[in-house]
Amino acid sequence: DADVTQTPRNRITKTGKRIMLECSQTKGHDRMYWYRQDPGLGLRLIYYSFDVKDINKGEISDGYSVSRQAQAKFSLSLESAIPNQTALYFCATSRGDFDSQPQHFGDGTRLSIL
Amino acid sequence: QKEVEQDPGPLSVPEGAIVSLNCTYSNSAFQYFMWYRQYSRKGPELLMYTYSSGNKEDGRFTAQVDKSSKYISLFIRDSQPSDSATYLCAMRMGGGADGLTFGKGTHLIIQP
């Protein structure tokens, strides 16, 4: 089983719909992250969480919200989806005991908004 | 100017060649440097992680960091067709700041 699991893997929906992307991890890491990947733009940070009570905005948080339901679960919501939110979305985790820990990624959710 | 510059390629080389992938950056606050490999329809996979200037070797892969020039490199020796993928450089600041800043990725093709 994958250490970082994202669901769904693919989603097609319509403009204006509410969407939730879910991420769960078995690595026991404290820190979790959401990124989006667009062709020609690379990966950009949306939100990150150092622990269940700590949520921080990233570079491109507008139009998104997150919830850290437990140490192992971090969900990303699009309250009212718009076509320019069509992208690949990745969840990542890292240890929180040292400042220098690398991030490990799930296999992503491909989201298309029509 | 973007904080991290990376040539998107594609870069096509014959099997067995030495591959050199590079990134430049402008923010001197970056302290930690990573290389990720990403296959189609998969997430980025960590290849190399370095902190200080200098070289770090792991099998066929060597990561090089030159903080004075704000330049990082990844070398792949004896390249194989299975190395064909997109290679992403990433970096982050220390001191509690978090989140990675990525280059756009270089698409590498190893010709059999």
Residue range A7-61, pLDDT digits in tens:
999 999 999 999 999 999 999 998 999 999 998 888 999 999 988 899 999 999 9
Across chain A, mean pLDDT equals 92
Contacting residues of B for A55, CB less than 8 Å apart: none
Task: Check whether A97 has a pLDDT greater than 90.
Answer: no
Tell me whether residues B102 and A31 touch, CB distance under 8 A.
no
Q: What is the DSSP letter of B96?
A: T
Residue of A nearest to B39 (CA): A107
pLDDT for B95 equals 66
Which tokens go with B105? 């990725």
Distance from the Cα of A27 to chain B's closest Cα (Å) equals: 15
The answer to whether A59 contacts B99, with C-beta atoms less than 8 Å apart, is yes
pLDDT of residue B98: 72
Residue of A nearest to B49 (CA): A102
In chain A, % of residues over pLDDT 70: 95
Residue of chain A minimizing CA distance to B43: A107
Cβ atoms of A81 and A89 closer than 8 Å? no
Encoding tokens for residue B69?
A: 């020039």
pLDDT digit of tens for each residue in chain B (112 aa)? 568 999 989 999 999 999 999 999 999 989 899 999 999 989 999 999 998 788 999 999 999 999 999 999 999 999 999 999 999 999 988 766 678 899 999 999 999 9
Candidates B42, B46, B103; nearest CB to A104? B46
A68 within 8 A of A20, measured Cβ to Cβ: no
